[in-house]
Structure 1
Amino acid sequence: MKLPIHERFYTFQGEGSHAGRAAFFIRCFGCPVHCPWCDSAGTWHPDYIPEQIARLEVEALADEAAHTKAEFVVVTGGEPAIHDLAPLCDALHARKLPVHLETSGAFPIRGDFDWITLSPKRWKLPLAENLQKASEFKLIIDRTDALEEYREVIRDASTGTSDQRSVWLHPEWSQHGNAELLSHITEWIKAHGAPFRAGWQMHKNYAADLNDPRSAPPAPLGGDSQKGY
């Protein structure tokens, strides 16, 4: 089986509960969600789509990951769940590699994943079944009212189970120097405590992904609504 792949690279996980651990990333091509601040616009936006999109065999991808010292593989996008990921998961597990998924949760998840990071997006909300499957949540805070908005999505659709899992609060990267937004996240965590945790895209400070020549040039939209939905 082949999958359309935007990029794959060896780096460390810069976010969430597994931050700082060596990871092989497989970024699938394609996304129907179209966030206006997407930092991987090359996976879907017509201004940034590469001229050629590689379709790679899952066995070859698994071999490539296995040749590194990665502790696990992260399947991401775009929105990876628009693809049937079961064959890729099977190929990676056959090589004793744990498989993590990063998804909006808006599409059925096909594949056996060891860890699921669910990052809800207001443009296409997660399926209730996926909220139940999530190992952790990642909320992208692009404005101060987004935190309460996404909290309601998690609390209502997950039937009260979200308080057992970490909820990471990430400033949208084009806003990472916005003092008001950072203060809002800080005060929220001080007021609410667990399961909320302050998040950061640590790999961007290191420029870690760019050390692998297989990684694609970054194409962030930076909150430009004219380029998003």
Structure 2
Amino acid sequence: MKLPVYETFYSWQGEGCHQGRPAFFIRLFGCPVHCPWCDSAGTWHPNHIPSKIDRVEVEALAERAAAANPEFVVITGGEPAIHDLGPLTQALAQKNLTAHLETSGGFEIRGTFAWITVSPKREKPPLKENVSQADELKVIVDTEDAISYWSDELKLAHANKPIWLNPEWSQRNNPKILQAITEAVKERKAQFRAGWQVHKNYRADEMDPSAMPEASLAK
């Protein structure tokens, strides 16, 4: 089986509960969600799509990952769950590699994952079953009302899992956004944690020549 691959690279996880751990990333092409602030717009936006998208056998992807010898493999996108990821996670398991998934949660998840991060998007709200099976939630705080919106939509006060509040990258210096996150964490009305895309400060992903710099796509 082949999957459309935007990029693969070896770096470390810059967000969430596994922050700072070495990871091999497989970023798949394709996303029908189309968030206006997407920092991986090369996976779908006509102004950023590279001239050639490789379709790679899942066994070859597993071999690339194994050669890097990471602690785990992150399958991301785009929106990776639009693809059947079962063959890929099986190929990774045969290399004794565990798979983590980063998804909006808006599509059926196919495959076996040791860790699932659901980052809900208003453009394509997550399926209830995906929210339930997620190990962590990552709420992108792009507006001042984003925390209250998702708290109501997903009943976050009853979520028994970490809920990361990440400022949308173009809003990372917006004092109102940062204050909203800080106040939510301090009030502790849910399992809120203040989040950040730490890898961007280090430019860690770009240190692997096979990675396509996201900085050119971010606002």
Into which bin does the TM-score normalised by the smaller protein fall?
Answer: over 0.9
1:212 to 199, 208, 213: 208
The separation in 2 between residues aligned to 1:220 and 1:149, in whole angstroms, is: 27
2:197 paired with 1:201: yes
Any stretches of 5+ residues in structure 1 without a counterpart?
A: 223-229
SS at match of 1:67: helix
| 1:190 equivalent in structure 2 | 186
| 2:125 equivalent in structure 1 | 125
SS at match of 2:155: helix
Aligned sequence identity (%): 58
Task: Give the number of the structure with larger relative contact order, counting CA–CA contacts within 8 Å between residues 6 or more apart.
Answer: 1
Q: Is contact 2:23–2:72 with CA below 8 Å preserved after alignment?
A: yes
Q: Write out the 4+ residue segments of structure 1 that deviate beyond 3 Å after TM superposition.
A: none
**What pairs with 1:135-150 in structure 2 (closer than 5 Å)?**
135-150=135-150
Q: CA RMSD in A?
A: 1.2
The separation in 2 between residues aligned to 1:193 and 1:203, in whole angstroms, is: 28
The separation in 2 between residues aligned to 1:161 and 1:24, in whole angstroms, is: 33
| 1:105 equivalent in structure 2 | 105
Q: Is contact 2:120–2:138 with CA below 8 Å preserved after alignment?
A: yes
2:171 paired with 1:168: no
Any stretches of 5+ residues in structure 2 without a counterpart?
A: none
The separation in 1 between residues aligned to 2:133 and 2:158, in whole angstroms, is: 10
The separation in 2 between residues aligned to 1:45 and 1:88, in whole angstroms, is: 25
Change (3 A) 1:174 1:131: same
**What pairs with 1:25-36 in structure 2 (closer than 5 Å)?**
25-36=25-36
The separation in 1 between residues aligned to 2:53 and 2:91, in whole angstroms, is: 22
The farther-off stretch of 184-193 and 39-48 is: 184-193
SS at match of 2:37: coil
